[in-house]
Structure formats: C-alpha cells, structure tokens
C-alpha cells in the first residue's frame, strides 16, 4: 500500500466514520435493542451489560471505518473492499433479523456468514494490508462471541 497522507485524506476518513456510525445509529433506533421482545426471551448469563457493548461497538466501528478507508484509498474495486462492504452490510442486518423479524436463528446465520467473510477478509488482506487485517481481528472475535450468545439464546428459547 502506498503511504497515506492523513493531511490530504482525512475528510474521506471522516466520511467513512460518519457513514458507519450514522447508518449504525439508524439501525439501532429502528430496531430498538431494548425492545419488549428481548424481555420475552431467556438470555444467557454471559451477555455483557449494554454499556459495555456500546463501548465495544464504538471501538469496533472505528476500526471498521479505518480499515474501509485504507482499502478505498488503495483500490476501491478490489475483492477485499467487496468483502469489507459485505461484512458491513451483514453487520447492519443482525439487529433487524433479531429484533424486527424476531428470529434469533436467522440472526445467528447472519453472524456465522459474517464471521466467515471476516476470516476470508483477514486472510486476503494479511499480505497486502496487514493493518486492515489486524483491525478486523477484534471484530471477528466479537462476532464469534455474539454468535455463541445468539446460539445460546436459540437453544434456550
């Protein structure tokens, strides 16, 4: 990857950050994770408190935005960029699948597909843009954790 000039490219980085947070906020408001539906489910004890999940999501979204920005600057039509975008879109589908469609099983499927695409993304980026690959590892770990929690919800309900 060529050297990125932060001075010249920071407006695009802000656009990536704002876009990801903006769409994530809309999805969150539409699906309202604190909905009455959640209260009808048996929830595993290992589900983190909402405040901790919020902090984790903020950090993961920042890493996601930086990774996407780096890919866009290098080659916005690459396979890696398409994998990044597919993963991003899937991340926005988890909440509607769980809270609007009310299907923890469908939400689990979204997470498993997302994890596979993230692993492929990391593998493909490792030799070309190691920073983007490394930025995805915490997200992959969180998606794995979320999949385990969602699988537990499916099993318990």
pLDDT in tens, 51-64: 898 899 999 999 99
Half-sphere exposure of residue 76, counting CA atoms within 13 Å on the CB side?
Answer: 5
CA distance 9 to 120: 27
pLDDT of 33 > 80? The answer is no
Share of the chain above pLDDT 70, in %: 94
CA distance 137 to 37: 31
Between 60 and 50, where is the model more confident?
60
Please compute the mean of the pLDDT values over residues 65-92 and round it to a whole number: 93
pLDDT band at 125 (very low <50, low <70, confident <90, very high): very high
| Contact criterion met (CB below 8 Å) for 138 and 59 | yes
pLDDT of 8 > 80? The answer is no
Q: How many CB atoms lie within 10 A of CB 46?
A: 9
First to last CA, the chain: 48
92: tokens are 């926005």
Please compute the mean of the pLDDT values over residues 116-127 and round it to a whole number: 97
What pLDDT does 132 receive? 95
pLDDT of 26 > 60? The answer is yes
CA distance 68 to 157: 37
């Amino acid at each position: 990857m060529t050297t990125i000039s932060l001075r010249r490219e920071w407006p695009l980085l802000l656009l990536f950050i704002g876009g990801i947070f903006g769409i994530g906020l809309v999805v969150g408001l539409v699906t309202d994770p604190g909905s009455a539906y959640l209260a009808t489910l048996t929830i595993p004890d290992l589900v983190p408190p909402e405040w901790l999940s919020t902090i984790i999501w903020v950090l993961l979204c920042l890493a996601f935005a930086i990774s996407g920005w780096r890919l866009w600057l290098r080659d916005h039509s690459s396979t890696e960029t398409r994998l990044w975008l597919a993963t991003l879109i899937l991340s926005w589908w988890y909440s509607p699948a769980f809270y609007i469609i009310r299907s923890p099983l469908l939400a689990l499927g979204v997470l498993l597909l997302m994890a596979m695409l993230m692993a492929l993304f990391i593998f493909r980026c490792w030799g070309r843009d190691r920073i983007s690959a490394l930025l995805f590892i915490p997200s992959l770990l969180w998606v794995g954790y979320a999949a385990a929690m969602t699988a537990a919800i499916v099993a318990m309900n």
